[in-house]
Structure formats: structure tokens, C-alpha cells
């Protein structure tokens, strides 16, 4: 998968997770959906990492896209 497509996929995944998830704790009160998205992306990464197949050769790229999405969301939380 091309880098541009991976970035688009990671961005779309992060945006969807932000919109769909919203578990709030005291520490996450400022941006609860972003924290929930990070948690969801970590779970998805773990599932992919431990999966026995390569998902048509896209497993490694998907894991990289998830790592990038998590990194970008963490950077957002710094502001």
C-alpha cells in the first residue's frame, strides 16, 4: 500500500474512532473521544499483530498506519 493511502487510512480510522467512542475518566475529561480512539487503535493493533495471517499482505502497513495514527493523536493531546 502506498504511503499516502496508509496515511489516509490511518486518519480515517482515527477520525472514525474519535466519533464513535467516548469512555470518560477524570484524566480524560478534556478530550475523552481522543483517548478512547487511542485505546481502540491499540486494541486493533494488538489484534492485527497477533493474527495468524497477513491480510493479503496489508498487515504490516496497517500496523504502521495505526502506529502513526496513535502518534498523531498523542501529539494533538499535547496542545
Residue 24's pLDDT is: 45
The model carries a pTM of: 0.63
Residue 79's pLDDT is: 86
Residue 23's pLDDT is: 46
Can you say whether the dihedral through the CA atoms of 52, 1, 64, 32 is positive or negative?
Answer: negative
Total structural domains within the chain: 1
Query: Which residue range forms the structural domain that includes residue 21?
Result: 3-77
Distance CA 79, CA 70 (A): 15
Mean pLDDT within 65-77: 97
- For 2-49, write each residue's pLDDT tens digit: 767 777 677 767 666 666 654 445 556 789 999 999 999 999 999 999
Residue 61 pLDDT greater than 70, yes or no? yes
Amino acid at each position: 500500500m502506498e504511503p499516502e493511502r496508509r496515511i489516509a487510512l490511518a486518519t480515517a480510522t482515527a477520525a472514525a474512532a474519535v466519533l464513535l467512542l467516548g469512555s470518560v475518566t477524570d484524566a480524560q475529561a478534556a478530550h475523552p473521544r481522543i483517548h478512547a480512539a487511542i485505546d481502540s487503535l491499540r486494541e486493533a493493533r494488538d489484534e492485527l499483530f497477533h493474527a495468524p495471517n497477513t491480510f493479503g499482505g496489508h498487515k504490516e502497513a496497517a500496523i504502521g498506519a495505526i502506529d502513526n495514527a496513535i502518534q498523531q493523536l498523542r501529539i494533538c493531546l499535547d496542545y
